[in-house]
């Protein structure tokens, strides 16, 4: 009955707005006297076990999905270290890669080291008057800083009818005020405020390659910032930032490999969100007898 009791109390308290369904919050917000006085539904013991099994199955599937996401993120970090050191070669071929020592670390001998200004253009953000902001979709979507950033693409919550600076679709958006160095890709044209800059590679620099490279080199870019408490970077820092420059075909292959992992992460994140919604729905309906466990069978792939 332990799992059934936990989920029942979670459902009752969540319904009263005191806690969410997530494990661990029950003890944090409820006093013992409240728990003792809480009235709970008490179905027959076999049905309690069945309800607990259904909810536990969904919870375990969610936890398994979280482990997959964690593993994929670690794989992405390892792959970036490999790709930005040896290039897009198999692991068993790295001993055959001729390396050169550079001011930014070891790189394949045929790669160049350039300043970002040599291969890209920049648009520094400028905040328009607040009177031009709106939430009705008038004008361009507006991004003030990294608050609207997602895993890859931003999600704007405001629009601007009189944009001052515009980041074009496909450009790399980078946070230039604390926290410095976070990046996203512009899914469309955006009005950008002073917390952001937009970078566009020229004919020798692939923007998706640059996106992943800036993720990988974020710490080095942070160290280039000014300010002891709240760091920031200016256009000069961006222009003089040193980056490796492989041939374009290698840039595209590196970007393709990392995009494939991001697609897997996105799919697992959507699965996790769906499982969380399913848990909440089942918790409510099972604890209020709107759904009876004998009416269906639950099978979740792990």
Q: Three-class SS string for the chain?
A: CHHHHHHHHHHHHHHCCCCCCCCCHHHHHCCHHHHHHCCCCCCCHHHHHHHHHHHHHHHHHHHHHHHHHHHHHHHHHHHHHHHHHHCCCCHHHHHHCCEEEECCEEEECCCEEEEHHHCEEEEECCCCCHHHEECCCCCEEEECCHHHCCCCCCCCCEEECCCCCEECCCCEEEECECCCCCEEECCCCEEECCCEEEEEECCCCCHHHHHHHHHHCHHHHHHCCECCCCCECCHHHHHHCEEEECCHHHHHHHHHHHHHHHHHHHHHHHHHHHHHHHHHHHHHHHHCCCCCHHHCCCCCCC
pLDDT at 292: 76
pLDDT at 47: 84
pLDDT more than 90, % of the chain: 74
The stretch 3-21 carries a mean pLDDT of 49
pLDDT at 211: 99
Residue 56: band (very low, low, confident or very high) from pLDDT cuts 50, 70, 90: very high
Residue 32: band (very low, low, confident or very high) from pLDDT cuts 50, 70, 90: confident
Residue 20: band (very low, low, confident or very high) from pLDDT cuts 50, 70, 90: very low
pLDDT at 105: 97
Does 205 have pLDDT greater than 90?
A: yes
As annotated, the residues of the chain forming the CATH 3.90.220.20 domain(s) are 112-245
Does 299 have pLDDT greater than 90?
A: no
The CATH topology of domain 112-245 is Adenine-n6-DNA-methyltransferase TaqI; Chain A, domain 2 (3.90.220)
pLDDT tens digits for 186-203? 999 999 999 999 999 999
Does 19 have pLDDT greater than 70?
A: no
Q: Indicate the range of 3-7, 73-77, 106-110, 158-162 predicted with least confidence.
A: 3-7
Does 18 have pLDDT greater than 60?
A: no
The stretch 10-30 carries a mean pLDDT of 48
Residue 42: band (very low, low, confident or very high) from pLDDT cuts 50, 70, 90: confident
pLDDT at 231: 86
């Amino acid at each position: 009955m332990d799992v059934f009791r936990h989920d029942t109390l979670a459902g009752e308290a969540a319904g009263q707005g005191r806690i969410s369904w997530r494990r661990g919050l029950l003890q944090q917000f409820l006093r013992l006297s409240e728990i003792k006085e809480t009235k709970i539904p008490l179905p027959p013991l076999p049905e309690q076990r069945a309800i607990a099994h259904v909810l536990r199955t969904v919870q375990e599937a969610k936890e398994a999905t979280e482990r997959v996401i964690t593993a994929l993120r670690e794989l992405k970090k390892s792959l970036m270290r490999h790709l930005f050191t040896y290039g897009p070669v198999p692991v068993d071929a790295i001993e055959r890669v001729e390396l050169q020592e550079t001011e930014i670390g070891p790189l394949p001998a045929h790669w160049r080291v350039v300043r970002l200004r040599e291969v890209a253009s920049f648009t520094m953000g400028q905040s328009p008057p607040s009177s031009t902001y709106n939430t009705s979709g008038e004008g361009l979507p507006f991004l003030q800083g990294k608050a609207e950033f997602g895993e890859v693409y931003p999600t704007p919550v405001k629009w601007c009818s009189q944009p001052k600076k515009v980041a074009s679709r496909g450009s790399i958006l980078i946070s230039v005020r604390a926290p410095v160095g976070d990046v996203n890709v512009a899914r469309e044209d955006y009005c950008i405020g002073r917390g952001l800059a937009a970078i566009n590679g020229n004919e020798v620099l692939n923007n998706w390659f640059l996106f992943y490279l800036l993720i990988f080199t974020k710490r080095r870019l942070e160290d280039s910032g000014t300010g002891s408490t709240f760091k920031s970077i200016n256009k000069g820092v961006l222009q003089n930032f040193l980056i490796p420059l492989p041939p374009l075909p290698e840039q595209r292959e590196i970007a393709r490999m990392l995009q494939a992992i991001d697609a897997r992460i996105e799919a697992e994140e959507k699965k996790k969100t769906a499982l969380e919604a399913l848990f909440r729905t089942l918790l409510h309906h099972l604890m209020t007898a709107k759904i009876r466990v004998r009416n269906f069978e639950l099978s979740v792939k792990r």
